[in-house]
Amino acid sequence: MFKRMMLAVVALAALLAFAGCAMEPMKPAPDQSLYLHLGGDDAIDALVDDAVGNIAADTRINRRFDSAVIPELKSNLVELTCADTSGPCTYAGRNMSDAHAGMNIRDDEFDALVEDLVKSLDKFKVPDREKGELLAILGRLRNAIVGH
């Protein structure tokens, strides 16, 4: 009798779980990485592509990227974002201090880049929590980028 009752409970739980999945898209578990919360490779690739487009149109900072090889820049930014959000990537590019050495990037230029990224985050409707986590990661890079 006990086995039959347990089997019925398990079957009911499975049915409810299946019905719930059919009615509402699956959401990542709260303990999953920021990488997964953002949507993985495809979402990060789209986000970076859009942000680079915003930067290219931003007259406050676009001249800073005149000598950049855009496909390489995008690839490095995707890899860095993936790695820094606990994704399966390993960032193989230069560290931020070396990459920005001699550029003398100002605070207002860094802020403009952040604004361009926020436009993309908003466009893709990234939730506030994930947006905040990603911007915090970028904020930790500020001292390695600004003023070098």
CATH number for the domain spanning 80: value is 1.10.490.10
Domain range spanning residue 99? Answer: 31-145
> What is the C-alpha to C-alpha distance for residues 55 and 46, in angstroms, rounded to an integer?
14
Which stretches of the chain are DSSP H helices?
A: 2-23, 34-38, 40-57, 70-84, 96-99, 107-123, 128-145
Q: For residue 26, is it within any domain?
A: no
Q: Is residue 95 part of a domain?
A: yes
Q: Which residue has the higher pLDDT, 5 or 34?
A: 34
pLDDT of residue 148: 76
- 3 versus 140: the higher-pLDDT residue is 140
**Residue 9, domain member (yes or no):** no
Is residue 88 included in any domain, yes or no?
A: yes
What tens digit of pLDDT does each residue of 79-127 get?
A: 999 999 999 999 999 999 999 999 999 999 999 999 999 999 999 999 9
- Residue 74 within any structural domain of the chain: yes
pLDDT mean across residues, the chain: 84
Q: How sure is the predictor about 30, in pLDDT bands with cuts at 50, 70 and 90?
A: low
Predicted TM-score (pTM) of this structure: 0.77
Residue 20 lies in a domain: no
Of residues 141 and 4, more confidently modeled: 141
Share of the chain above pLDDT 90, in %: 78
C-alpha span between 60 and 67 (Å, rounded): 16
- What DSSP assignment string belongs to 29-56? -TTS-HHHHHTHHHHHHHHHHHHHHHHH
Confidence at residue 15, expressed as pLDDT on a 0 to 100 scale: 34
15 occurs within a structural domain: no
Question: Into how many domains does the chain fold?
Answer: 1
Domain assignment present for residue 98? The answer is yes
